[in-house]
Structure 1
Amino acid sequence: MTSQPLYTQLKESEEVEEQVLWFTQHHVSARRYYRCALLIALLVTMLFCAMLFQLLIFPFLLVTPMAMPEVIPNQDNKCDDPCRWVLVESIPEGMIYNESITSNPSIYQAWLNLIRSANSSMDIASFYWTLTNEDTETSEPTASQGEEILQELLRLPQRGVVLRIVVNPPSSPGQKNDLQALTQSGALIRVVELPKLTGGVLHTKFLVVDGKHMFIGSANMDWRSLTQVKELGATVYNCSCLVKDLQKIFQAYWALGVPNASIPSPWPEEYSTSYNKDTPLAVTLNSTSSQIYLSSAPPALCAQGRTEDLQAILSIIDDARVFVYVAVMDYIPTMEFSHPKKYWPEIDDHLRKAAYERKVHIRLLISCWHHTEPFMFPFLRSLAAMRDNKTHYDIDVKLFIVPTTAAQARIPYARVNHNKYLVTDKVAYIGTSNWSGDYFVQTAGSALIVNQTGVATASDGQAMVQKQLQDVFERDWNSEYSREISSFSQNKCKAR
């Protein structure tokens, strides 16, 4: 029979078909697998190339000839402290304003409040110390305020408060008396040899209490700064974010107060800050949203992120659109103490540019007393000469003279407007430096800058910081103590 071979043939044929089908199915699956693997490999390669481009090539495409942005620590620039600002002044004995004119609390009372409120620590940066009649070899009753301040400071170590002081090397025996008494009371004092380190002096004037309160301004630790010299400063309370930043400047001075100290370059990270003109501290000041930062001089003492004092001033002038009002003791666009003398036009150029290009109204209120340098007058007259009704270059210059009796005239280095501030339509600046090149290039100084632009009135009803400072300036500008520079026929402080 033929059925068996046929069955065998059919069976073999089915087996061949099954093998072919198996091979075909697996070949298709393999092709799908290889396609998927190829696609995945392609995607991974593309992703790797994109990452490589971003990391190695893309940054170079962003580089321009402009300076790279300042590198600052990654910190939060917002502060939740309920900070309070008080503008304070010293008005010299016998200098009277109209009762309706702007007045502010005294620096004497502000210092007393700060000293008496100290619980754990107080740091003071100062140019020199002459808080008593003995220091100045005088017998003035008005020295009593300075003498009281000294007694309050002497009590601090007894109350368990750590008192630290940094000071410029004393230039006379009288400047050592207070420091010796403070040392004996338990205060920690370091003399910073800045004349050797930078060729300048430690001209800074500020107080820090418990890491949360501060004073900064023109007043020295001198009884005359409380009763015989016109001074201006700012006291800030309950503002640890800002005050701890000021303590970093103090710590830099403190580090330089050890024997054989040298200025580090760069400064260690703990001295750096994230609060500067580009990224100011956002804070509530007198119940009002504000932007604030501290500047410092000279550049060698500025750690990473710190705005140099000169750059702060120039940026404020450049940002002004309506007015720039300046009140300083000295305005001299030179390196005043250099040998040979050098011209230094940085601030002067920016003031002229503001008047010429943007028609900003410039007012300079400069002090005039028996120590005023005669060579300051030609520079001031040059600025005043820009005023022109046709071109609308708007620069005014006045000299401020503190009235003096015969007895007051015998007090050394007194009876002067010692203010050092700048106010514009946007910003308030309170500093510790006179305006000549040496103070920004070699000498240690510091400043507080506040911006409350866009806010008309503080939430608590007070005037804005900028408006408070503007009111002080306009009070002095319009007072009987202020005179046009054209009324001075010679290069000395005696009006026609």
Structure 2
Amino acid sequence: NCHCSFELVESVPYDLAFEINSTAAKPLYHAWMRLLDIAQEEIHVASYYWSLTGKDINVNDSSSKQGEDILKRFERLLADNVSVYVAASMPTLATNSTDLELLEEKGAHVKKIDFGHLAGGVLHSKFWIVDMKHIYIGSANMDWRSLSQVKEFGAVIYNCSCLAKDLWKTFSTYWDLGHANATIPFPWPLNYSTHINKNRPLEVEFNGILTKAYLTASPPAFCPEGRTHDLFAIISIISEAQEFVYVSVMEYFPTSRFTHPERYWPAIDNALRSAAFNYGVQIRLLVSCWTHSDPAMLYYLRSLRALNNPRAHISVDVLLFHCIGTSNWSEDYFINTAGVGLIIKQNSTNLQRTQLLQEQLKNLFERDWNSKYAVNLEDVEGQEDCNWRG
């Protein structure tokens, strides 16, 4: 019987100015600081890499201050005898960062997981578990830029031991393979299995509203018995949609990205097309577009949008968001890379005064969709990349 409190959190780059009084989620920095403030016994962090200080990339400006605050707060917790466990991917992108070495010197337990050796991908999950009862799950890396220069999104759930303990099982799948010559067990021992999944979601209260929730994982080899695979959950949600599917994602490819040769992989693309064409579900796709976006993505997005046919009640629209995020939809992120998801369903009653989480999410999506930063596919035509002049 969990009575949890839930809040959406986001990070908006300093130079991204939305309209005054527009919808906003709680700033990620404040959410992380609050979690660190209330930690009493232990924190488990699953992370791709750590780079919380500007000096990691020879940057000396004020925008790295929030990341440095977070690192200092972790150091203080260690000084106060709070246990810190960090699972990170190996090799690391942040080759100059000494964050994890610093925390280890202060007593943190750190394991570097060789995901390339284990599964062929990376540990791309980003979540925290605090005192086995509070959790953060989202897109943000442990990187100062995630707090000041990158658009990130996530959720914090307080006083929710039933979900926190289940997320800890996924953390354990990484932690327990953080040693030399580790291999993925098949099958996983029963203590990693879960009863909470798509078929049997957890019934909890979020902010006083009865909610069905479950956690998902990738890749399939890291889904012990009972754990729903990320991709299965996403395709199920799309296929069960009745009115609309709004998606905000950094990269969208109906292919693999890191295999040679690349493979065609239409799993999600087909689900979106089928929902639009067969059931009249409105599809909106908001995709990040920035200097390093692969221009090939635009062709796939145009192909998807070509399905749009208002006369036949088929609605498919794609906009490009001039911003960087960290969540990707291509085959690799579901097949060999570690990730987690949180699936939530709330039904409205006439009595409640609290806004449904789906409504809050929809409002944030529409803020981005209707902003000056979202542009049509045609607005980047003729340009080699997404680094257009707005």
Range of TM-score over shorter length? over 0.9
Cα-to-partner distance string for 1:295-344 (whole Å, 9 max, x where unaligned): 00000000000000000100000010100000000001111100111111
Which whole-Å CA distance do the structure 2 matches of 1:481 and 1:99 have between them? 15
Tell me the amino acid that sits aligned with residue 251 of structure 2: D
Deviation at 1:232, TM superposition (A): 0.5
Are the counterparts in 2 of residues 127 and 202 from structure 1 also a CA contact under 8 Å?
A: yes
Question: Which position in structure 2 is the counterpart of 1:471?
Answer: 363
How far is the alpha carbon of 1:495 from its aligned partner? 6.2
Matched residues in 2 for 1:235 and 1:103: separation? Answer: 15
Q: TM-score, normalised by structure 2?
A: 0.97
Query: Of 111, 119, 135, which aligns to 1:198?
Result: 119
Q: Report the alpha carbon displacement of residue 484 of structure 1 after superposing the two structures with TM.
A: 1.2
Match of 1:447 in 2: 341
Mapped partners of 1:269, 1:195: distance in 2: 25
Deviations for 1:17-69, whole angstroms, at most 9, x for unmatched residues?
A: xxxxxxxxxxxxxxxxxxxxxxxxxxxxxxxxxxxxxxxxxxxxxxxxxxxxx
Q: How many residues align?
A: 388
Alignment of 1:232-243 (within 5 A): 232-243=153-164
Work out which of the residue numbers 375, 378, 381 in structure 2 matches 1:486: 378
Q: Which residue of 1 aligns with 2:301?
A: 380
Corresponding residue for residue 248 of structure 2: 327
TM-score where L is the length of structure 1: 0.77
Q: Does residue 338 of the first structure (1) align with residue 259 of the second (2)?
A: yes
Q: Is the 8 A contact 2:49 2:94 kept in 1?
A: no
Q: Among residues 319, 322, 329, which one is paired with 1:435 in the alignment?
A: 329
User: Helix, strand or coil: the match of 2:226?
Assistant: coil
Q: Percent identity over the alignment?
A: 45
Q: How far, CA to CA, are the matches of 1:440 and 1:159 in structure 2?
A: 39
> Does the 8 Å contact 2:292/2:385 carry over to 1?
no
Measured after TM superposition, the shift of residue 175 of structure 1 is: 4.9
- For 2:372, give the aligned amino acid: E
Equivalent-residue separation in structure 2 for 1:457 and 1:170 (angstroms): 52
Distance 1:458 1:156 in 2: 42
Q: Alpha-carbon deviation of 1:161? A: 1.0
Structure 2 CA distance for partners of 1:458 and 1:124, relative to 1, 3 Å: farther
Q: What are the Cα deviations for residues 55-107 of structure 1, in whole angstroms up to 9, with x where unaligned?
A: xxxxxxxxxxxxxxxxxxxxxxxxx1210000011011021111221012111
Alignment match, 1:56:
none
Q: Is the Cα–Cα contact under 8 Å of residues 219 and 338 in structure 2 kept in the other structure?
A: yes
Using a 3 Å threshold, how does the CA distance of structure 1 residues 264 and 324 change in structure 2: closer, same or farther? same
Alignment of 1:47-446 (within 5 A): 80-172=1-93, 174-402=95-323, 416-418=324-326, 420=327, 434-446=328-340
- Judged with a 3 Å threshold, the aligned counterparts in structure 2 of structure 1 residues 320 and 215 are, in CA distance, closer, same or farther, namely same
Secondary structure, aligned partner of 2:26: coil
Quick one: which amino acid aligns to residue 442 of structure 1?
N
Structure 1 counterpart of 2:332, one-letter code? D
Following superposition, the deviation at residue 469 of structure 1 comes to 0.6
1:449 is matched by which residue type in structure 2? Answer: I
Looking at structure 2, the residues matched to 105 and 389 of structure 1 have their Cα atoms a distance apart, in angstroms, of: 37
- When residues 185 and 341 of structure 1 are mapped into structure 2, their CA distance, relative to the original with a 3 A threshold, is same
What do the CA deviations read for 1:347-389 (whole angstroms, capped 9, x no partner)? 0000000001001000000000001011111100001111112
Structure 2 partner of 1:462? 354
Higher-Rg structure is: 1
Which structure 1 segments of 5+ residues have no match?
1-79, 403-415, 421-433
Residue identity opposite 1:107 in structure 2: L
The SS at the match of 2:213 is strand
Give the whole-Å Cα distance in 2 for the aligned partners of 1:139 and 1:458.
Answer: 52
Farther off after superposition, 382-391 or 392-401:
382-391
> How far apart, in 1, do the equivalents of 2:138 and 2:94 lie?
25
Q: Answer yes or no: is the 8 Å Cα contact 2:134–2:156 preserved in 1.
A: yes
> SS of 1:89's equivalent?
strand
CA contact (8 A) 2:50 2:94 kept: no
Change (3 A) 1:371 1:240: same
In structure 2, the residue matched to 1:49 is none
- SS of structure 1 residue aligned to 2:56: helix
Letter in 1 for 2:7: V
* Deviation, structure 1 residue 260: 1.2
Change (3 A) 1:475 1:260: same
Q: Shift in Å at residue 457 of structure 1?
A: 6.8
In structure 2, relative to structure 1, the CA distance for the partners of 1:216 and 1:450 (3 Å cut) is same
Q: Take 2:28 and 2:113, find their aligned partners in 1: how far apart are those partners?
A: 25
- State the alpha-carbon separation in 2 of the partners of residues 120 and 171 from structure 1: 28
